[in-house]
Amino acid sequence: MTFEDVKIIAPAESPNTDGIHVGRSDGIKIINSFISTGDDCVSVGDGMKNLLVERVTCGPGHGISIGSLGRYSHEENVSGIKIINCTLQETDNGLRIKTWPSAACTTTASDIHFENILLKNVSNPILIDQEYCPWNQCNKQVRTKHAL
């Protein structure tokens, strides 16, 4: 499936307004588009494989996010993500990977490529957050294995 020449606009102060959310899919392309929302421009959920995001302009908002991952026990791995020739402007974050602490599963995110990204007035250009915990909805205790 290809999304091309898409324009999405929502007020910058609107909560939970991801522009495009993809997950549990293979081979999606988002190209030559403009996304301005109050949340993630592009949000990548679990199970996403072989995603291409190319020539996309984002902002304002939260940038492009992979995750959050690890909150639920049935999540699938993420792989083959390419973010190429994109512009992020006036965003809180540029490129972000989010995982929950004390993850309920061993979901992995691999084969991720960020290439030729232009950042304009971005607070956190690249953010890897392994303790993503919005609104304190998680258990930050470290899981340990106990011998029997």
Catalytic residues: 39, 62
The C-alpha atoms of residue 82 and residue 52 are separated, in whole angstroms, by 5
